[in-house]
Chain A
Amino acid sequence: MSQGQTGAELRLVTPGMAIGPLSGKRVGSGALAQNEQIIATRLGWVRELNDTVSVDPINSTYMPRSGDLIIAIVAEVRNNLWFMNVNGPFQGLLPMSLAPWKVEFGAARQHMGIGDVVMARVQEVDECHNVVLTMKGVGLRRLNEGIIVTVPVNHVDRIRGDNNETLLRLREICDCRIMVGDNGRVWIDGSAEGTSWARSAITLASQSGHKLSFEAELSALENDAPKRGDA
Protein backbone atom coordinates (compact mmCIF):
# COMPACT_ATOMS: atom_id res chain seq x y z
CA MET A 1 0.00 0.00 0.00
CA SER A 2 1.38 3.30 -0.98
CA GLN A 3 -0.46 5.77 1.21
CA GLY A 4 -1.33 3.84 4.33
CA GLN A 5 -2.09 5.31 7.70
CA THR A 6 1.37 5.73 9.09
CA GLY A 7 1.57 4.39 12.60
CA ALA A 8 -1.97 2.99 12.50
CA GLU A 9 -2.87 -0.62 11.97
CA LEU A 10 -3.78 -1.35 8.37
CA ARG A 11 -7.19 -2.92 8.03
CA LEU A 12 -8.08 -5.19 5.14
CA VAL A 13 -11.73 -5.12 4.12
CA THR A 14 -13.72 -7.16 1.63
CA PRO A 15 -16.78 -6.05 -0.38
CA GLY A 16 -19.85 -5.66 1.81
CA MET A 17 -17.90 -5.39 5.05
CA ALA A 18 -18.89 -2.58 7.42
CA ILE A 19 -16.01 -0.17 7.95
CA GLY A 20 -17.71 1.84 10.71
CA PRO A 21 -20.53 4.26 11.47
CA LEU A 22 -21.09 7.16 9.06
CA SER A 23 -21.32 9.78 11.88
CA GLY A 24 -20.57 12.84 9.78
CA LYS A 25 -17.71 11.31 7.82
CA ARG A 26 -17.50 11.56 4.08
CA VAL A 27 -17.44 8.46 1.92
CA GLY A 28 -14.54 8.24 -0.53
CA SER A 29 -13.72 5.82 -3.31
CA GLY A 30 -14.13 2.10 -2.73
CA ALA A 31 -16.91 2.59 -0.17
CA LEU A 32 -20.59 3.52 0.04
CA ALA A 33 -22.99 4.68 2.74
CA GLN A 34 -25.81 2.33 3.69
CA ASN A 35 -28.06 2.50 6.76
CA GLU A 36 -25.76 4.98 8.55
CA GLN A 37 -22.83 2.63 7.99
CA ILE A 38 -19.86 2.92 5.69
CA ILE A 39 -19.61 -0.25 3.61
CA ALA A 40 -16.55 -1.32 1.63
CA THR A 41 -17.18 -2.09 -2.02
CA ARG A 42 -13.71 -3.33 -2.90
CA LEU A 43 -11.05 -5.59 -1.50
CA GLY A 44 -8.41 -3.29 -0.05
CA TRP A 45 -7.02 -1.31 2.82
CA VAL A 46 -9.11 1.22 4.72
CA ARG A 47 -7.78 4.76 4.61
CA GLU A 48 -9.11 7.70 6.60
CA LEU A 49 -7.87 11.12 5.66
CA ASN A 50 -9.50 14.47 6.51
CA ASP A 51 -12.70 12.78 7.68
CA THR A 52 -13.01 10.94 4.38
CA VAL A 53 -13.09 7.16 4.57
CA SER A 54 -12.03 5.29 1.47
CA VAL A 55 -10.64 1.91 0.47
CA ASP A 56 -7.33 1.61 -1.37
CA PRO A 57 -7.96 -1.36 -3.66
CA ILE A 58 -5.39 -4.15 -3.74
CA ASN A 59 -6.07 -4.87 -7.39
CA SER A 60 -7.49 -2.44 -9.89
CA THR A 61 -7.68 -1.75 -13.58
CA TYR A 62 -6.15 1.44 -14.92
CA MET A 63 -8.96 3.95 -15.40
CA PRO A 64 -7.54 6.97 -17.27
CA ARG A 65 -7.96 10.40 -15.72
CA SER A 66 -7.35 13.73 -17.32
CA GLY A 67 -3.74 14.80 -16.86
CA ASP A 68 -2.26 11.31 -16.39
CA LEU A 69 1.19 10.78 -17.88
CA ILE A 70 1.10 7.41 -19.55
CA ILE A 71 3.08 5.09 -21.80
CA ALA A 72 0.86 4.00 -24.66
CA ILE A 73 1.30 1.57 -27.54
CA VAL A 74 -0.14 2.16 -31.00
CA ALA A 75 -2.90 -0.39 -31.60
CA GLU A 76 -4.52 0.89 -34.81
CA VAL A 77 -3.80 3.60 -37.34
CA ARG A 78 -6.37 5.55 -39.37
CA ASN A 79 -5.84 8.33 -41.90
CA ASN A 80 -5.98 11.09 -39.31
CA LEU A 81 -5.62 9.44 -35.89
CA TRP A 82 -4.07 6.64 -33.89
CA PHE A 83 -5.82 4.29 -31.49
CA MET A 84 -3.56 3.65 -28.53
CA ASN A 85 -3.47 0.80 -26.05
CA VAL A 86 -3.32 2.57 -22.69
CA ASN A 87 -3.32 -0.61 -20.53
CA GLY A 88 -6.95 0.03 -19.62
CA PRO A 89 -10.36 -1.27 -20.68
CA PHE A 90 -10.62 1.20 -23.56
CA GLN A 91 -8.29 2.37 -26.27
CA GLY A 92 -7.19 5.98 -26.24
CA LEU A 93 -7.49 8.18 -29.29
CA LEU A 94 -4.62 10.37 -30.47
CA PRO A 95 -5.80 12.72 -33.23
CA MET A 96 -3.24 14.05 -35.67
CA SER A 97 -3.93 17.56 -34.39
CA LEU A 98 -2.53 16.56 -31.00
CA ALA A 99 0.57 14.80 -32.38
CA PRO A 100 3.89 16.63 -32.08
CA TRP A 101 4.42 16.61 -35.84
CA LYS A 102 2.67 18.24 -38.73
CA VAL A 103 0.71 15.33 -40.11
CA GLU A 104 -0.99 15.42 -43.49
CA PHE A 105 -4.32 13.62 -43.84
CA GLY A 106 -3.53 10.03 -44.81
CA ALA A 107 0.09 10.22 -43.67
CA ALA A 108 -0.38 9.06 -40.07
CA ARG A 109 1.39 5.76 -40.78
CA GLN A 110 4.55 7.57 -41.83
CA HIS A 111 4.94 8.91 -38.29
CA MET A 112 3.84 5.98 -36.15
CA GLY A 113 2.83 2.41 -36.91
CA ILE A 114 1.27 -0.40 -34.93
CA GLY A 115 3.45 -1.38 -31.96
CA ASP A 116 5.23 1.97 -31.61
CA VAL A 117 5.47 3.20 -28.03
CA VAL A 118 4.86 6.78 -26.97
CA MET A 119 4.91 8.91 -23.88
CA ALA A 120 1.60 10.76 -23.86
CA ARG A 121 -0.71 12.64 -21.58
CA VAL A 122 -4.44 12.04 -21.11
CA GLN A 123 -6.11 15.16 -22.45
CA GLU A 124 -9.72 14.31 -21.79
CA VAL A 125 -11.92 11.48 -20.53
CA ASP A 126 -15.69 11.70 -20.85
CA GLU A 127 -18.37 9.89 -18.89
CA CYS A 128 -18.50 7.12 -21.51
CA HIS A 129 -14.78 6.48 -21.10
CA ASN A 130 -13.77 7.97 -24.43
CA VAL A 131 -10.12 8.81 -23.89
CA VAL A 132 -8.31 11.51 -25.87
CA LEU A 133 -4.51 11.62 -25.64
CA THR A 134 -2.09 14.37 -26.49
CA MET A 135 1.59 14.35 -27.36
CA LYS A 136 1.90 18.12 -27.28
CA GLY A 137 3.86 18.94 -24.15
CA VAL A 138 7.30 18.84 -22.62
CA GLY A 139 8.81 15.34 -22.66
CA LEU A 140 5.98 13.78 -24.66
CA ARG A 141 7.45 11.87 -27.54
CA ARG A 142 7.85 8.58 -29.32
CA LEU A 143 10.06 6.12 -27.38
CA ASN A 144 12.38 4.55 -29.93
CA GLU A 145 14.73 2.63 -27.60
CA GLY A 146 14.51 0.84 -24.31
CA ILE A 147 12.16 -1.72 -22.85
CA ILE A 148 8.73 -1.60 -21.24
CA VAL A 149 7.97 -3.33 -17.96
CA THR A 150 4.36 -3.58 -16.87
CA VAL A 151 3.52 -3.49 -13.16
CA PRO A 152 0.16 -3.49 -11.32
CA VAL A 153 -1.35 -0.01 -11.45
CA ASN A 154 -1.70 0.20 -7.67
CA HIS A 155 2.04 -0.45 -7.27
CA VAL A 156 3.10 2.60 -9.29
CA ASP A 157 3.44 4.78 -6.19
CA ARG A 158 5.72 2.21 -4.59
CA ILE A 159 8.12 2.44 -7.53
CA ARG A 160 8.14 6.20 -7.32
CA GLY A 161 8.44 6.33 -3.54
CA ASP A 162 7.86 9.44 -1.43
CA ASN A 163 8.79 12.51 -3.48
CA ASN A 164 10.11 10.20 -6.24
CA GLU A 165 12.93 9.11 -3.90
CA THR A 166 12.91 5.45 -4.91
CA LEU A 167 12.75 6.23 -8.62
CA LEU A 168 15.62 8.74 -8.41
CA ARG A 169 17.70 6.23 -6.49
CA LEU A 170 17.10 3.49 -9.06
CA ARG A 171 18.07 5.85 -11.86
CA GLU A 172 21.22 6.79 -10.00
CA ILE A 173 22.27 3.20 -9.27
CA CYS A 174 21.80 1.72 -12.73
CA ASP A 175 22.56 4.85 -14.73
CA CYS A 176 19.50 4.28 -16.90
CA ARG A 177 16.68 6.49 -17.99
CA ILE A 178 13.52 5.30 -16.24
CA MET A 179 10.04 6.74 -16.68
CA VAL A 180 7.01 5.51 -14.78
CA GLY A 181 3.64 5.93 -16.46
CA ASP A 182 0.49 6.33 -14.39
CA ASN A 183 -0.93 3.40 -16.35
CA GLY A 184 1.48 0.88 -14.83
CA ARG A 185 4.02 0.82 -17.65
CA VAL A 186 7.65 1.60 -16.89
CA TRP A 187 10.12 2.56 -19.62
CA ILE A 188 13.80 1.73 -19.06
CA ASP A 189 16.61 2.74 -21.38
CA GLY A 190 20.33 2.26 -20.84
CA SER A 191 23.07 -0.34 -21.08
CA ALA A 192 22.06 -4.01 -21.22
CA GLU A 193 23.39 -4.65 -17.69
CA GLY A 194 21.79 -1.52 -16.30
CA THR A 195 18.46 -2.33 -17.93
CA SER A 196 18.54 -5.85 -16.59
CA TRP A 197 19.29 -4.61 -13.07
CA ALA A 198 16.62 -1.91 -13.30
CA ARG A 199 14.07 -4.50 -14.33
CA SER A 200 14.87 -6.58 -11.21
CA ALA A 201 14.80 -3.48 -9.01
CA ILE A 202 11.43 -2.40 -10.35
CA THR A 203 9.99 -5.85 -9.72
CA LEU A 204 11.36 -5.64 -6.18
CA ALA A 205 9.96 -2.14 -5.64
CA SER A 206 6.61 -3.25 -7.03
CA GLN A 207 6.42 -6.20 -4.63
CA SER A 208 8.12 -4.79 -1.53
CA GLY A 209 8.24 -1.01 -1.93
CA HIS A 210 5.77 -0.53 0.93
CA LYS A 211 7.52 -2.84 3.41
CA LEU A 212 10.02 -1.87 6.06
CA SER A 213 12.39 -4.52 4.67
CA PHE A 214 12.54 -2.79 1.26
CA GLU A 215 15.59 -0.66 2.12
CA ALA A 216 17.64 -3.72 3.12
CA GLU A 217 16.47 -5.68 0.06
CA LEU A 218 17.34 -2.82 -2.29
CA SER A 219 20.75 -2.41 -0.66
CA ALA A 220 21.40 -6.13 -1.20
CA LEU A 221 20.37 -5.81 -4.84
CA GLU A 222 22.54 -2.70 -5.17
CA ASN A 223 25.65 -4.85 -4.62
CA ASP A 224 24.86 -6.63 -7.89
CA ALA A 225 24.35 -3.39 -9.78
CA PRO A 226 26.66 -2.75 -12.75
CA LYS A 227 29.42 -0.24 -12.01
CA ARG A 228 29.06 3.08 -13.76
CA GLY A 229 31.00 3.17 -17.02
CA ASP A 230 31.05 -0.63 -17.34
CA ALA A 231 29.00 -0.65 -20.48
Chain B
Amino acid sequence: MGGYGDVKLLRDDGLRLDGRKIDEMRPIEIEAGYLPAADGSAWVKHGLNIAVAAVYGPMEAHPRKIQRQDRCVIDVRYNMAPFSTSDRIRPGFNRRSREISKVTAEALESVVICERYPRSKIRVEIEILSAEAGTRCAGITAAAVALADAGIPMRDLLVGVASGKVEGVVVLDLDKAEDNYGQADLPVGILPNTGEIAFLQMDGDLSPDEFNLAMKYNFKAAAEIHEIMVDALKRRYEGGEN
Protein backbone atom coordinates (compact mmCIF):
# COMPACT_ATOMS: atom_id res chain seq x y z
CA MET B 1 0.00 0.00 0.00
CA GLY B 2 1.39 3.39 -0.95
CA GLY B 3 4.48 3.73 -3.11
CA TYR B 4 2.48 3.99 -6.32
CA GLY B 5 2.21 7.76 -6.32
CA ASP B 6 1.99 8.06 -10.09
CA VAL B 7 -1.21 5.95 -10.34
CA LYS B 8 -4.12 8.34 -10.68
CA LEU B 9 -7.12 7.14 -8.68
CA LEU B 10 -9.26 10.28 -8.54
CA ARG B 11 -10.50 12.14 -11.59
CA ASP B 12 -10.17 15.89 -11.97
CA ASP B 13 -13.90 16.32 -11.33
CA GLY B 14 -13.45 14.75 -7.87
CA LEU B 15 -15.10 11.46 -8.79
CA ARG B 16 -13.38 8.09 -8.63
CA LEU B 17 -12.23 6.06 -11.63
CA ASP B 18 -15.46 4.05 -11.72
CA GLY B 19 -17.55 7.25 -11.53
CA ARG B 20 -18.53 6.96 -7.87
CA LYS B 21 -18.47 9.82 -5.41
CA ILE B 22 -16.00 9.51 -2.55
CA ASP B 23 -18.75 8.47 -0.09
CA GLU B 24 -20.60 6.18 -2.48
CA MET B 25 -20.74 2.39 -2.22
CA ARG B 26 -20.60 -0.11 -5.01
CA PRO B 27 -24.03 -1.64 -5.74
CA ILE B 28 -25.02 -4.51 -3.45
CA GLU B 29 -27.44 -7.38 -4.03
CA ILE B 30 -28.24 -10.00 -1.39
CA GLU B 31 -30.24 -13.20 -1.59
CA ALA B 32 -31.07 -15.28 1.48
CA GLY B 33 -31.57 -19.05 1.34
CA TYR B 34 -29.39 -19.48 -1.73
CA LEU B 35 -28.31 -23.07 -1.02
CA PRO B 36 -31.09 -25.58 -0.32
CA ALA B 37 -28.82 -28.15 1.34
CA ALA B 38 -27.49 -25.83 4.06
CA ASP B 39 -29.33 -24.96 7.28
CA GLY B 40 -28.98 -21.31 6.30
CA SER B 41 -27.29 -19.58 3.39
CA ALA B 42 -26.83 -16.31 1.56
CA TRP B 43 -25.44 -14.93 -1.67
CA VAL B 44 -23.94 -11.44 -1.71
CA LYS B 45 -22.86 -9.47 -4.78
CA HIS B 46 -20.93 -6.38 -3.73
CA GLY B 47 -19.59 -4.61 -6.78
CA LEU B 48 -17.76 -7.40 -8.62
CA ASN B 49 -17.32 -9.45 -5.42
CA ILE B 50 -19.53 -12.50 -5.15
CA ALA B 51 -19.63 -14.32 -1.80
CA VAL B 52 -21.70 -17.34 -0.85
CA ALA B 53 -22.06 -18.31 2.81
CA ALA B 54 -23.52 -21.52 4.20
CA VAL B 55 -24.30 -22.27 7.84
CA TYR B 56 -24.56 -25.75 9.31
CA GLY B 57 -25.59 -26.53 12.87
CA PRO B 58 -25.59 -26.11 15.75
CA MET B 59 -24.06 -29.55 15.95
CA GLU B 60 -21.96 -31.45 18.46
CA ALA B 61 -18.45 -29.99 18.46
CA HIS B 62 -15.77 -32.45 17.31
CA PRO B 63 -13.07 -33.12 18.32
CA ARG B 64 -14.27 -32.91 21.92
CA LYS B 65 -11.27 -30.86 22.99
CA ILE B 66 -12.73 -27.83 21.16
CA GLN B 67 -16.01 -28.05 23.10
CA ARG B 68 -16.74 -25.30 25.58
CA GLN B 69 -19.01 -26.27 28.43
CA ASP B 70 -20.83 -22.93 28.59
CA ARG B 71 -21.15 -21.91 24.95
CA CYS B 72 -20.83 -22.93 21.34
CA VAL B 73 -17.84 -22.37 19.10
CA ILE B 74 -18.11 -20.84 15.67
CA ASP B 75 -15.99 -22.51 13.06
CA VAL B 76 -15.50 -20.28 10.03
CA ARG B 77 -13.85 -21.37 6.82
CA TYR B 78 -13.20 -18.56 4.37
CA ASN B 79 -11.98 -19.63 0.97
CA MET B 80 -11.39 -17.96 -2.37
CA ALA B 81 -12.23 -20.07 -5.38
CA PRO B 82 -9.29 -20.64 -7.76
CA PHE B 83 -11.21 -18.80 -10.51
CA SER B 84 -12.19 -15.82 -8.34
CA THR B 85 -9.33 -13.59 -9.48
CA SER B 86 -7.59 -12.88 -12.78
CA ASP B 87 -4.58 -14.94 -11.67
CA ARG B 88 -5.56 -18.47 -10.65
CA ILE B 89 -5.30 -19.01 -6.89
CA ARG B 90 -3.85 -22.26 -5.64
CA PRO B 91 -6.79 -24.15 -4.05
CA GLY B 92 -6.86 -24.71 -0.30
CA PHE B 93 -6.09 -22.83 2.85
CA ASN B 94 -3.35 -20.24 2.92
CA ARG B 95 -2.08 -17.72 5.45
CA ARG B 96 -4.52 -15.04 4.33
CA SER B 97 -7.60 -17.26 4.39
CA ARG B 98 -6.67 -18.55 7.85
CA GLU B 99 -6.38 -15.00 9.14
CA ILE B 100 -9.70 -13.93 7.63
CA SER B 101 -11.41 -17.09 8.93
CA LYS B 102 -10.13 -16.32 12.42
CA VAL B 103 -11.15 -12.65 12.52
CA THR B 104 -14.55 -13.47 11.00
CA ALA B 105 -15.16 -16.18 13.61
CA GLU B 106 -14.23 -13.80 16.42
CA ALA B 107 -16.51 -11.10 15.01
CA LEU B 108 -19.42 -13.51 14.69
CA GLU B 109 -18.86 -14.92 18.19
CA SER B 110 -19.46 -11.46 19.61
CA VAL B 111 -22.83 -11.24 17.87
CA VAL B 112 -24.22 -14.78 18.13
CA ILE B 113 -25.78 -15.68 21.49
CA CYS B 114 -23.37 -18.56 21.95
CA GLU B 115 -24.57 -19.40 25.48
CA ARG B 116 -27.70 -20.95 24.00
CA TYR B 117 -25.75 -23.91 22.64
CA PRO B 118 -23.16 -25.23 25.10
CA ARG B 119 -20.73 -27.84 23.76
CA SER B 120 -21.92 -27.18 20.22
CA LYS B 121 -20.35 -25.93 17.04
CA ILE B 122 -21.81 -23.74 14.32
CA ARG B 123 -20.02 -24.17 11.03
CA VAL B 124 -19.88 -21.21 8.66
CA GLU B 125 -18.49 -21.74 5.16
CA ILE B 126 -17.69 -18.62 3.14
CA GLU B 127 -16.77 -19.11 -0.49
CA ILE B 128 -15.62 -16.18 -2.60
CA LEU B 129 -16.58 -16.85 -6.20
CA SER B 130 -15.42 -13.52 -7.59
CA ALA B 131 -13.02 -11.08 -5.96
CA GLU B 132 -12.54 -7.38 -6.47
CA ALA B 133 -11.28 -6.02 -3.09
CA GLY B 134 -13.41 -6.12 0.03
CA THR B 135 -14.04 -9.87 0.02
CA ARG B 136 -13.77 -10.22 3.81
CA CYS B 137 -16.51 -7.60 4.21
CA ALA B 138 -18.72 -9.30 1.62
CA GLY B 139 -18.05 -12.61 3.37
CA ILE B 140 -19.00 -11.25 6.78
CA THR B 141 -22.22 -9.75 5.42
CA ALA B 142 -23.08 -13.05 3.71
CA ALA B 143 -22.30 -15.01 6.90
CA ALA B 144 -24.57 -12.76 8.98
CA VAL B 145 -27.50 -13.22 6.60
CA ALA B 146 -26.87 -16.97 6.45
CA LEU B 147 -26.81 -17.22 10.27
CA ALA B 148 -30.13 -15.34 10.49
CA ASP B 149 -31.54 -17.60 7.78
CA ALA B 150 -30.48 -20.66 9.80
CA GLY B 151 -32.40 -19.37 12.83
CA ILE B 152 -29.31 -18.81 14.97
CA PRO B 153 -30.05 -16.28 17.76
CA MET B 154 -28.02 -13.08 17.38
CA ARG B 155 -27.94 -9.69 19.06
CA ASP B 156 -27.84 -7.92 15.68
CA LEU B 157 -27.04 -8.45 12.01
CA LEU B 158 -23.32 -7.92 11.57
CA VAL B 159 -22.40 -5.80 8.56
CA GLY B 160 -18.96 -5.81 6.92
CA VAL B 161 -17.91 -2.55 5.31
CA ALA B 162 -14.64 -0.78 4.46
CA SER B 163 -13.27 2.70 3.87
CA GLY B 164 -9.79 3.78 2.92
CA LYS B 165 -7.56 6.54 1.67
CA VAL B 166 -6.48 7.23 -1.90
CA GLU B 167 -4.43 10.22 -3.00
CA GLY B 168 -4.83 11.69 0.48
CA VAL B 169 -8.64 11.56 0.30
CA VAL B 170 -10.77 9.31 2.50
CA VAL B 171 -13.14 7.23 0.34
CA LEU B 172 -15.81 4.65 1.05
CA ASP B 173 -15.71 1.07 -0.23
CA LEU B 174 -12.43 0.66 -2.10
CA ASP B 175 -12.40 -1.12 -5.43
CA LYS B 176 -9.49 -3.21 -6.69
CA ALA B 177 -7.31 -0.36 -8.01
CA GLU B 178 -7.91 1.74 -4.90
CA ASP B 179 -7.16 -1.22 -2.65
CA ASN B 180 -3.95 -2.08 -4.50
CA TYR B 181 -2.60 1.43 -5.02
CA GLY B 182 -4.30 3.40 -2.21
CA GLN B 183 -2.72 4.53 1.05
CA ALA B 184 -4.97 2.90 3.66
CA ASP B 185 -7.77 0.37 4.09
CA LEU B 186 -10.10 0.20 7.11
CA PRO B 187 -12.46 -2.81 7.06
CA VAL B 188 -14.92 -2.83 9.96
CA GLY B 189 -17.68 -5.12 11.25
CA ILE B 190 -20.53 -2.98 12.56
CA LEU B 191 -23.69 -3.78 14.50
CA PRO B 192 -25.98 -1.19 12.95
CA ASN B 193 -28.70 -1.14 15.61
CA THR B 194 -26.39 -0.59 18.56
CA GLY B 195 -23.51 1.11 16.76
CA GLU B 196 -21.03 -1.35 18.25
CA ILE B 197 -17.95 -2.55 16.40
CA ALA B 198 -17.33 -6.29 16.26
CA PHE B 199 -14.06 -6.17 14.36
CA LEU B 200 -11.71 -3.57 12.98
CA GLN B 201 -8.54 -3.89 10.96
CA MET B 202 -6.39 -1.16 9.51
CA ASP B 203 -3.84 -1.45 6.76
CA GLY B 204 -1.82 1.71 6.08
CA ASP B 205 -1.88 4.97 7.99
CA LEU B 206 -4.75 7.34 8.78
CA SER B 207 -4.62 10.49 10.90
CA PRO B 208 -7.20 10.73 13.73
CA ASP B 209 -9.35 13.06 11.61
CA GLU B 210 -9.13 10.75 8.61
CA PHE B 211 -9.94 7.78 10.81
CA ASN B 212 -13.04 9.53 12.18
CA LEU B 213 -14.18 10.45 8.69
CA ALA B 214 -13.62 6.88 7.46
CA MET B 215 -15.65 5.55 10.39
CA LYS B 216 -18.41 8.05 9.62
CA TYR B 217 -18.55 6.71 6.05
CA ASN B 218 -18.49 3.15 7.36
CA PHE B 219 -21.43 3.72 9.71
CA LYS B 220 -23.43 5.40 6.94
CA ALA B 221 -22.74 2.51 4.56
CA ALA B 222 -23.49 -0.08 7.28
CA ALA B 223 -26.98 1.38 7.73
CA GLU B 224 -27.60 1.11 3.98
CA ILE B 225 -26.29 -2.46 3.74
CA HIS B 226 -28.32 -3.43 6.82
CA GLU B 227 -31.50 -2.34 5.05
CA ILE B 228 -30.61 -4.51 2.06
CA MET B 229 -29.90 -7.48 4.37
CA VAL B 230 -33.24 -7.10 6.15
CA ASP B 231 -34.98 -6.73 2.81
CA ALA B 232 -33.36 -9.95 1.52
CA LEU B 233 -34.54 -11.90 4.57
CA LYS B 234 -38.04 -10.45 4.40
CA ARG B 235 -38.29 -11.14 0.67
CA ARG B 236 -37.57 -14.80 1.33
CA TYR B 237 -40.07 -15.30 4.09
CA GLU B 238 -42.75 -12.63 4.04
CA GLY B 239 -46.15 -13.74 2.86
CA GLY B 240 -45.98 -16.75 5.18
CA GLU B 241 -44.27 -18.86 2.53
CA ASN B 242 -42.20 -20.74 5.07
Query: How many interface contacts (CB-CB < 8 Å) are there between A and B?
Result: 85
Asked whether any CB of chain A lies closer than 8 Å to the CB of B75, the reply is no
* One of B44-52, B163-171, B172-180, B232-240 at the interface: B232-240
Asked whether any CB of chain B lies closer than 8 Å to the CB of A128, the reply is yes
* One of A56-64, A159-167, A189-197 at the interface: A56-64
Q: How close is B186's CB to chain A, nearest CB, in angstroms? A: 23
| Range for the number of chain A residues in contact with chain B | 20 to 34
Asked whether any CB of chain A lies closer than 8 Å to the CB of B40, the reply is yes
Chain B interface helix/strand/loop/mixed: loop
Q: Are B240 and A210 in contact (CB under 8 A)?
A: yes
Q: How far is the CA of A30 from the CA of B151 in the complex (A)?
A: 10
Known: A14-B233, A41-B153, A43-B148. A89 touches B193 (CB 8 A): no
Q: How close is A27's CB to chain B, nearest CB, in angstroms? A: 13
For A176, the chain B residues whose CB sits under 8 A away are none
* One of B79-87, B94-102, B113-121, B205-213 at the interface: B113-121
Q: How far is the CA of A200 from the CA of B60 in the complex (A)?
A: 32
Chain A interface helix/strand/loop/mixed: loop
Q: How close is B56's CB to chain A, nearest CB, in angstroms? A: 10
| Range for the number of chain B residues in contact with chain A | 20 to 34
> Restricting to A17-71, which residues have a CB under 8 Å from any CB of B?
17-18, 30, 32, 34, 39, 41-44, 57-61
Q: Which of B119, B149, B152, B240 contacts A128 (CB 8 A)?
A: B119
Residues of A within 8 A of B (CB): 1, 10, 12, 14-18, 30, 32, 34, 39, 41-44, 57-61, 89-91, 127-129, 207, 210-211
In the A-B complex, the 5 residue pairs with the closest CB atoms: A16-B156, A59-B151, A15-B154, A41-B153, A16-B193
